[in-house]
Structure 1
Amino acid sequence: MTKKRRILIISNRLPITVKEENGTFDVRPSAGGLVAGLRGIHQNDNDDTWWIGHGGVFGDDPFTRLRRELEPRKLVPVPIDQTTYDGYYNGMANNVIWPQFHYFPSMMHYQPRNWEAFEQANRAFADTALEVAKPGDWIWVHDYQLMLVPQMLRERAPNLRISYFHHIPFPSSEIFRTLPNRVALLRGLLGADLIGFHTYDYVRHFISSAVRLLGKDVYLDEITHGDRMVKVGAFPLGVDCESINAVCEELDHLAPPQQPFQELNAPLVMLGIDRLDYTKGIPERLEAFGRFLRKNPDYIGKAVLVQLCVPSRQKIPSYGELRARVERLVGQLNGEFGKPGYTPIHYLYQSFSQKDVVALYRKAQIALVTPLRDGLNLVCKEFVAAHTDEDGVVILSELAGAATEMGEALSVNPFDVEDMAAAMLRAATMEPAERQSRMRGLRKRILEFDNYVWCQTFLDSWANITETRADKSVKLEPHAFADFTEQLRKARRVFLFLDNDGTLTPIAARPELAIPPREVVELLRQFGLFGKMHVNIVTGRPREYCETYFGDLPLNLITEHGIFMRSRGEFEWESLIDLEDYTSTRTEVKRLFDMFVRFVPGSHIEEKIACLVLHYRQAEPLFAESQAKLLIETLHALLGKTTLSVFPGKKTVEVRPLVADKGQAVEMVLTRHDFDPDQDVFFTIGDDTTDEFMYKIHPNNNFSIHVGKPNVHAHYYVEGPVEVALLLKHIHETLASDLAGQSAPEIEDPEPADPVGAADSVGATDA
């Protein structure tokens, strides 16, 4: 992306540390994964980037002075009083959200007043951003402390470009649903256009929570929220390889006596670097190291563990208890295995500079990264980046987000002390060739996907959403009819793609009641008189239905969402996709549908050749919806490695081949007929999420119309099938008048059309 953007970053803290002494401020850059990840765009001249966050200063007068001082650096502090900040940060963010999201519900301590402080603080961040924001700005919100901010921004400024990145795990829906104020947190995040996580597991958990708790409709990685589509994606954070490499070069030029940590001269050095937090698995790691020495006494006197614990959240009592436990274990193990000249565990409770941390990485042959749960963990990546010698071993918890990217590391269960001790032995005895091969694989990936690439990948995905997503559709008014009439007259050919149920035929309780209105059928028949007109029925209905009601019309029939097609004037059906995978999985899908029908009265199954559809329009709404959400989750898990997928619709759940969608069918027809956008026109009309695939085909040339409420993918919308019939009538009269050399007639108010056979019948959902 080369176009200059104005980006507002919002995070809990600014990327600085501020100390006030004698009325002046000492402002220094701070460290951390988020700071390193975003430093590139904040300091990039190609973009005008401002950073909004708390500056650590309280009180009106010092805050005002700090804001003036930070403005030249494009830093904007957020005003929050001390009491509110403590309740928001320590009380809610770190005593409720943090433990719950890391699967430690027993550590959660919820108090309503802290939730109130959380709302107030999030409001302060949003208000500050809106003070700074200008039209066209990009606002990027970061992390769990600010989960309400996206929606707060959206409410005040609906047209803002907003994204959010979540830097800690997102738990399974079973864990998340136990959280107080869970719905408010979900809705807060859904205020964004793009929501980023570190792994696909977290994406799946978030989508599952949105489905189960809010009843949202989801297709792949998009969530329908009101009249917007929210994109969800995985973007694993990288490390600042450039600065790490610069420190490595500096260390390489130091004489041996000047190298840091000369006292660490043991033959085997293992290293753990963590914030002192109960999620990091430090006690379990210490116990595993003790177990390693007991089972392998030859390493006593040779192997040392350096454990650096960075002080964290010292005001929270549980963190003080953890520190005491860690220090007791260190004392016990040093007492058990230590001897003159040998201290098995070097415990360091302090913060270090980047230079010292990189020096520790280079001193160690083995990195112990064994959190009990971690959103990503950058220590393992920094260790790899610092090993320019392409040697060393990473022992990595399978419950760290980074485990999905680092297959060459030795994976361990951090709760299993024996497993970790065995991994330590394997790492210590690994052949040099294997060590180096593993490290080369890790380094290649870490260096290619550093913090800068992470940031650009996220911004590019965000830009793509913004640039390709259609504006919310507007109601099709008479003046738009006039514009379209002119296009019809000038066009060499006109391609019309029509959904059936809910579009041509009104919605009904059961499929067998769906009978197209007589007037609409007659209009479709008369379209065959116009040589330039190419009409296509694109429906989810089976072939038998289409043959019954549209079989003798001069048009193409495309059934089961693009699986089968019968061309105009033909009698044989052609299959557009391979159905082998569907046939082999159909039995298990049918079993799940049967179970649903058994427990949800009023539901029934519609069986097609290549699709199975569960209808529950006649069931009790709330109960049926809740059961449908559970069924959808089960089907997603079942179909994950097949070519099939589950498609929720209007009171329906359908399973069909993933590649079968109406958009593919539209594209195929246009290709077969050599569609030329300079000479031909086409339009698509539908009412369901399945019809959105049609709207997305050639959006700049597609006169797309959604039936019902506004839709983000369609250019226009009309209220119901009666208006669709009016539009078809208008098209017919325009083409007929052109043939007769007359002008198009005025548009009249529509009248409901009588259906064929039963005046009171209404159509079924287009599953």
Structure 2
Amino acid sequence: MHDTNSPNPEEKHPIIIVSNRLPITVKTTDGGFHIQRSAGGLVAGLRGIHERSLTWWVGHGGVFDAEGYAKLKAKLEPDRLLPVPIERETYEGYYQGMANNAIWPLFHYFPASMHYQVQDWRAYTQANRAFADTILELAKPGDWVWVQDYQLMLVPAMLREAAPDLRIAYFHHIPFPSSEIFRTLPNRDLLLKGLLGADLIGFHTYDYVRHFVSSAVRLLGCDSYMDEVNHGDRLIKIGAFPLGVDVASIVDTCKELDTLAPEQELFPELDAELVMLGIDRLDYTKGIPERLEAFGSFLRHNPEYVGKAVLVQLCVPSRQKIPSYGDLRARVERLVGQLNGEFGRPGYTPIHYMYRSLGHREVIALYRKAQIALVTPLRDGLNLVCKEFVAAHDDEDGVVVLSELAGAAAEMGEALSVNPYDVEEMAATLLRAAVMPREERRHRMRGLRKRIVAFDNDSWCSTFMESWRKCYENRVERSVKLVESMREEVLGQLDRAGRIFVFLDNDGTITPIAKRPELAIPPNHVLDILRQFGQFGRLHVTLVTGRPKEYCEQYFPSLPINIVSEHGIFIQSRGEVDWEYLIDVEDHSDTKDEVRHLFEMFTRFVPGSHIEEKQACLVLHYRQAEPLFAESQAKVLIESLQQLLGKTALSVFHGKKTVEVRPIVADKGQATETILDRHGFQQGTDVFLTLGDDTTDESMYKVFPDHNLSIHVGKPNTYARYYLESPTDTASFLAQIRDRLSH
């Protein structure tokens, strides 16, 4: 188990959890309220963090008039629960309308079931604003706000706009669909921008991460790099954090059930030789009709199990006001009746159907009664039933039949995977589960249990909190413009330093950007300054560029500096003629041929674009192309390249009007650190500066951030300490360094 109390992001600042509903159920009584704690994976996952003395939980507690809301607010305050006031009509449009009739079906890949109405979108916006306003009543600068799930996708940006000093995270508990599906939703841009108000966005699986990043890139034109998205002048981290279950509570309940006397046993009627179990909210995404049909097919093809095998199907009532859910219930109950009529006999009911909610203790008892869990949703964000079934089987026996379209399938490889739309395949898998040898069952279950116990709900929470905290390590919230007074402060640090190390990018930093790479020629006055730097023994200058060796030899000949080319692959040390490999690079000729083919297709469709080939890298330039069209095509190209390069040692990097494919190990930050190490850089005595203008230069800014006088050229940057506006300002600042060292 993991202790959720560690790590705590900031002991001195509260954490505010925000979800659609508070972790309680509120019912009005004569003269007061009856309050009961809620169950569920989210509540269990966040229980530990809410128990901290500084943590509040904000959510909807029900619709009340002004007087009733004030009374409820006062009653809940000692438990650090803060209800959000929303009028009934607004809440209906927000929750039943936009959230559950539009977002829910579309995100679960049921676009035909999506019902979008403009008035529901207005209600969704108003409700999200009510949540944001309630949070802002409570939050102070520096507080941590963790927003939960699809009902509140606009809240992060609303908070960011009103209170930029808040630390904001968001977790998405349902699937995030592919960009092709997501883009069909009206106001999709506003939803994306809403989420990008957070500093960290979490999903259950890497597929959802990939889909979200793809949507941000293709619909908003954001730049992305691995698990980061640039939006405006902010960098947002994206991560996969699959939710775990409350293993400790399940284990305790199992021990309690083991002590019951025979007459106290729960569900004694389930004494069949083979018990299969399905537990679901009654929702069209859960694949319940298909599961029932598969069980029927299993009995038809394997008549020896008639009278021996039963299916227990628990359907928890859900969204009963929505007509389609009533239709689903009727269909399920009709199927149950048909199959029980077909296969039932005196003393044998093949399907035990329950339409109700059960308590935690009863659910665990059902898990222990069953030998096979059927978890076969048509689409599910994660699904905790399969994990709870595994946690409840401390006998290390049992089989999980799991839909490949459930998020949990990515981490439960020992389960039997099925396509939930293929009824006959599911029926065949039920037979495989039924006849599986005991040793194989135990081997599979041991693997699942080891993972489920290690990554429980506390682990999920603590892992997310740790990643959230790391978002702010080595990060400057906003660069400060290097005005004259600031320059004097930096120059003073150089005066006091033992040695000075300067790392310079080329294009856009010391050399103005040109329409074509070959036209970007370093200004003579900058070359003169670099040449004059050679007279200072304690000054070590390195040019760190993406340009090939040939360019560097042509435009930076005989300078008293180190030159690193192709983003850190080659180095020509000061005073040397030959180049050496700074890192080991594998041969990727076959993959490069495929990349070149994609680049050539791009140049055919996008006039004004061209390819630059280096020894270890390929670069596509589209600065001369029509901007909007080229940028949109570049996003599509990047998505294709990410899929192509997913399991190679190459990666794709989106720069300023460029798409570059190079070895993952080619990294300017790594090159910077290697050179500092070669020269025996002394932290506390020596000083170094890094100057760049692109996302590829950010890795330099992250090296020894406490000692790094990082400067971004252009606009403020997330990771740089300072910024200058243009290469002209860079030249001016380098001249000031020269003049200061000359005295």
> TM-score, with normalisation over the residues of structure 2?
0.98
User: 1:390 Cα deviation (Å)?
Assistant: 1.1
* Equivalence for 1:686: 692
Are positions 1:399 and 2:405 aligned together? Answer: yes
Deviations 1:212-265 (A, max 9, x none): 000000011011111111000000000011111111111111011101001111
Q: Which residue of 2 aligns with 1:117?
A: 123
Of residues 15, 34, 37, the one that matches 2:23 is 15
Of 302-311 and 677-686, deviating more is 677-686
| 1:528 match: secondary structure | helix
1:171 is the counterpart of 2:174? no
The answer to whether 1:36 aligns with 2:44 is yes
Q: CA deviation at 1:132?
A: 1.2
CA–CA distance in 2 between the matches of 1:139 and 1:610?
Answer: 44
- Out of 526, 536, 541, the position equivalent to 1:530 is 536
Contact 2:140/2:166 (<8 A) preserved: no
Offset at residue 613 of structure 1 (A) = 0.8
1:461-489 deviations in whole A, cap 9, x for unaligned? 10111233222110001122222222222
SS at match of 2:512: coil
Does structure 2 conserve the Cα–Cα contact (< 8 Å) formed by 1:472 and 1:715? yes
**In structure 2, what is the Cα distance between the partners aligned to 1:326 and 1:597?**
54
Q: Deviation per CA, 1:522-543: give whole Å up to 9, x if none.
A: 1111111111111111111111
Instruction: State the match for 1:249 in structure 2.
Output: 255
Rounded to whole Å, the distance in 2 between the matches of 1:635 and 1:577 is 23
Instruction: Indicate the SS of the match to 2:488.
Output: helix
The equivalent of 2:203 in structure 1 is 197
> Within 5 Å, which residues of 2 pair with 1:93-242?
93-242=99-248
Match of 2:14 in 1: 6
1:643 aligns to what?
649
Question: Out of 590, 596, 609, which is 2:596 matched to?
Answer: 590
Cα offset for 1:404?
Answer: 0.7
In structure 1, distance between residues paired with 2:691 and 2:15: 38
| Structure 1 residue matching 2:448: 3-state secondary structure | helix
Deviations 1:356-383 (A, max 9, x none): 0000000001000000000000000011
**Residue 66 of structure 1: CA displacement?**
1.0
Instruction: Tell me what 1:433 maps to.
Output: 439
Which of residues 354, 358, 362 in structure 2 aligns to 1:348? Answer: 354
Determine the C-alpha separation between the residues in 2 that align with 1:148 and 1:491.
48
Q: Deviations over 1:444-503 (max 9, x none)?
A: 111111101100110111011123322211000112222222222222211111111111
Q: Is the 8 A contact 1:708 1:717 kept in 2?
A: yes
Could you tell me which amino acid in structure 1 is paired with residue 227 of structure 2? D
Q: CA–CA distance in 2 between the matches of 1:156 and 1:61? A: 28
In 1: Cα distance, 2:390 partner to 2:423 partner: 24
What root-mean-square deviation, in Å, do the aligned CA atoms of Structure 1 and Structure 2 show?
1.0
Aligned partner of 1:302: which letter? K
Provide the rounded CA distance (Å) in 2 between the counterparts of 1:662 and 1:520: 21
| Matched position secondary structure for 2:507 | coil
Q: How big is each residue's C-alpha offset from its partner over 1:256-297, in whole Å with a ceiling of 9 and x where there is no partner?
A: 110100111111100000000000000000000000000000
The letter for the 1-side match of 2:588 is Y
Match 2:78 to one of 72, 76, 79: 72
State yes or no: 1:25 paired with 2:41: no
Give the Cα–Cα distance (whole angstroms) in 2 for the partners of residues 261 and 207 of structure 1: 47
Secondary structure of residue in 2 paired with 1:36: helix
CA distance in 2, matches of 1:22, 1:481: 70
Distance 1:318 1:388 in 2: 39
Paired with 2:312 and 2:587, the residues of 1 have a C-alpha distance of: 53
| Counterpart among 630, 638, 646 of residue 632 in structure 1 | 638
Match of 2:478 among 467, 472, 487: 472
> Post-superposition shift, 1:91?
0.6
Deviation at 1:64, TM superposition (A): 1.5
Does residue 304 in structure 1 map to residue 307 in structure 2? no
Contact 1:18/1:57 (CA < 8 Å) preserved in 2?
no
- For 1:295 and 1:40, the matched residues in 2 are separated by 48
Deviations, residues 502-556 of structure 1 (Å, cap 9, x unaligned): 1111111011211111111111111111111111111111111111111211111
1:61 maps to: 67
Query: Hey, what does 2:280 align to over in structure 1?
Result: 274
**Is 1:551 matched up with 2:557?**
yes
Of 379, 385, 392, which aligns to 1:386? 392
**CA contact 1:581–1:644 (8 Å) conserved in 2:** no
Distance in structure 2 (CA, Å) of the matches to 1:488 and 1:205: 46
Which of 541, 551, 571 is the equivalent residue of 2:547? 541
Q: Distance in 1 between matches of 2:57 and 2:15?
A: 8
SS at 1:262's partner residue? coil
CA distance in structure 1 between the partners assigned to 2:311 and 2:157 by the alignment:
46
Which residue identity is paired with 1:196?
G
Q: What amino acid does structure 2 have at the position aligned with 1:447? A: V
Q: SS at the partner of 1:562?
A: coil
SS of equivalent to 1:531: coil
Q: Secondary structure of 1:468's match?
A: coil
Aligned length: 735
Aligned partner of residue 588 in structure 2, secondary structure:
helix
Identify the residue that residue 383 of structure 2 maps to in structure 1: 377
Structure-2 separation of matches of 1:446 and 1:280: 22
**Contact 2:141/2:163 (<8 A) preserved:** no
Match for 2:617 among 583, 606, 611? Answer: 611
CA distance in 1, matches of 2:325, 2:416: 29
Q: Which residue of 2 aligns with 1:743?
A: none
Per-residue Cα deviation, 1:44-69 (whole angstroms, up to 9, x for no partner): x4x52111111123222222111111
Q: Report the Cα offset of residue 582 of structure 1.
A: 2.8
Question: Given residue 380 of structure 1, which amino acid in structure 2 is its aligned partner?
Answer: C
* 1:162 Cα offset (Å): 0.4
Matched residue, 1:496: 502
Residue matched to 1:749: none
Mapping for residues 658-669 of structure 1, pairs under 5 Å: 658-669=664-675
Q: Give the aligned partner of residue 52 of structure 1.
A: 58
Separation (CA, whole Å) in 2 of partners of 1:369 and 1:727:
64
How far apart are the structure 2 equivalents of 1:279 and 1:701? 53
Following superposition of structure 1 onto structure 2, how do residues 651-662 of structure 1 map, counting pairs within 5 Å? 651-662=657-668
Structure 1 residue aligned with 2:89, among 83, 90, 95?
83
